[in-house]
Structure 1
Amino acid sequence: MSFIKKILTSLRDQYTVVNTRKRWTNEEKMYLRRFYFPELTKEEIHEIQQEWKGIAVSKRLFNAHRFYKKINGFDARYLAMPVYDPIIIRTLNPFQDACVFVNKGFFEVLFAGLKQPQLYIKRLDGHYFDSRSALITKDEAITTLCKKEQFIIKPSVNSHGGAGIKLVKYRRSRLEIESLIAEYKGDFIIQEILDQHPDTAKFNPESLNTIRVISLFLNGKVTILKSALRCGQNGAEVDNATSGGLMINIKEDGFLENFGIDSQFEKIFETHNGVKISGQRIVDFPKLKEIIMLNHPKLYPSLHLIAWDFAINSEGEPVFIEGNTKVPGIFWIQLCGGPIFGDRTQEVIEYVKKRIHD
């Protein structure tokens, strides 16, 4: 029986790898049809194969290196999405553990030690809860929201790219709030609209411009791998690159790179409202890094790669928005900041190889 179970598990895992890679390679082909990217030389392909030896050697999996080559020049250490997901990330972040941290409705309990936006209402499995996570009725929830001048509502899961996120900026009637809630079939959270710091607001005041920080906790060591400012453009209310925003690399000293990357794979040196990116700085960036260095092993001890999203409030304090655990996004942050694992690339490769071949 155990032998049959082992065979079935192996077949399931192989299906997951093939299906996931197909999804990512199809997305890459779409980009290749729409935009120009330089070809890889034979020498570059060989270098990639040597860098990732033992994990992936197929030339079909290295299209992403053409994207990165266009922006930053060639580097074999770039991690292609069909290699990252499912092989690398499923090894670094065991799936069953990563799923624990997906639902935003649990954040105020799981991450009570981190400053977060004020929670007004949340719905979990059809039940309504107030700001203290006390069970209330739907009517009580609506009454609470009727008293709020403004708020933001988000699906508790699957809000990638700003999907399902709505900002309410004026007081609504009871009927309007009932109608709004009815639009959401699953769980959601409703929070205050954060008053962000002028240093991040100036890039696009209409959106909450957040800081994405990716940290690695491996072999007893925490490293801040990459950091980037995500800001909306042209008055958009969300900051994601896939929704028309910019991704701007943040250097170790908290200053921004002199350009951002948009969804057209173009370098942008000035925002739509005339803010020059070069010379801009994230307020008290060392404090944010310190929070992440301290809390990665504390809050995510079994997950090795986390993509943290923070905002900076009007007082200059880092405010936790969410931690991405299942498949932390690396595509756009590599475009603006370089190979995701940097000097720890081979260490990660050896860690993954040891576990997939055991």
Structure 2
Amino acid sequence: MWLLLAETRSQSIFVKPIEGEEGVNSFRFDEPEITAENCVDLFRLMETVSFIFQETIKQHPTLNSIYPYSINSLRVHSFFDQEKNDYEIVSVMMRIGRNGAVVDNCGVGGLYIAVDLENWTLGKFAQTYLSRGGYRFTAHPDTGHVFAGTKLPFRDET
């Protein structure tokens, strides 16, 4: 992993299974935390699971202020209007990590929240999956960031 860091000139590597789901066996290794022991542990896991190694990306400061340990992502639901020959965004939700997780997957305890399409802002409540208790939060339980009205970046690029 040290060679990968040197080659990419990165200080962090994200490792995830090629055929994974819900963030299981996904890890972020930051340069100061890479040890021979966790390299050996990953190598043992690689005997049974195929992984992809990626340079860790940096998210926009607004998203980082909500929860900095995972890359918080948008799920955009769209519809292709054949009469207009154009796509229409029907709804958008944001997934947000929590509890120190490096992934934003709701299946492992992350949160999801509606995005107001007109203003491109977060809604009032984020929630966990019902199978995880269906808990609702007005602020991120780890960072205290209040969700309502948070203006998201890159509306025009979406």
Specify the TM-score bucket, using the shorter chain as the normaliser.
0.7 to 0.9
Report the AA paired with residue 279 of structure 1.
G
Higher percent of residues as strand = 2
Whether 1:188 and 2:51 are equivalent positions in the alignment is yes
Question: Which residue of the partner structure matches residue 270 of structure 1?
Answer: 139
RMSD: 2.4
**For the residues of structure 2 that align with 1:199 and 1:146, how far apart are their CA atoms?**
26
**For the residues of structure 2 that align with 1:245 and 1:143, how far apart are their CA atoms?**
30
Structure 1 residue 248, shift from structure 2 partner: 0.9
Aligned with residue 151 of structure 1, among 10, 13, 25:
13
Q: 1:267 to 1:143 in 2, by over 3 A?
A: closer
**For the residues of structure 1 that align with 2:148 and 2:72, how far apart are their CA atoms?**
17
Q: Is the 8 A contact 1:145 1:177 kept in 2?
A: no
Gaps of 5+ in 1: 1-141, 289-358
Structure number, greater radius of gyration? 1
Moved more, 180-189 or 249-258: 180-189
Gaps of 5+ in 2: none
Structure 1 residue 176, shift from structure 2 partner: 5.2
Structure 1 residue 182, shift from structure 2 partner: 3.6
Q: 1:251 to 1:178 in 2, by over 3 A?
A: same
Q: 1:145 to 1:235 in 2, by over 3 A?
A: same
- Deviations for 1:43-90, whole angstroms, at most 9, x for unmatched residues? xxxxxxxxxxxxxxxxxxxxxxxxxxxxxxxxxxxxxxxxxxxxxxxx
Please give the TM-score of this superposition, normalised by the length of structure 1. Answer: 0.37
Structure 1 residue 144, shift from structure 2 partner: 3.1
Structure 1 residue 225, shift from structure 2 partner: 2.1
Whether 1:168 and 2:29 are equivalent positions in the alignment is yes
User: How many residues align structurally?
Assistant: 146
- Deviations for 1:143-196, whole angstroms, at most 9, x for unmatched residues? 732636420111112x22111211111264678535523412343211111111
Q: Is the 8 A contact 2:5 2:31 kept in 1?
A: no
Q: Is the 8 A contact 2:97 2:111 kept in 1?
A: yes
Whether 1:222 and 2:87 are equivalent positions in the alignment is yes
Q: 1:275 to 1:154 in 2, by over 3 A?
A: same
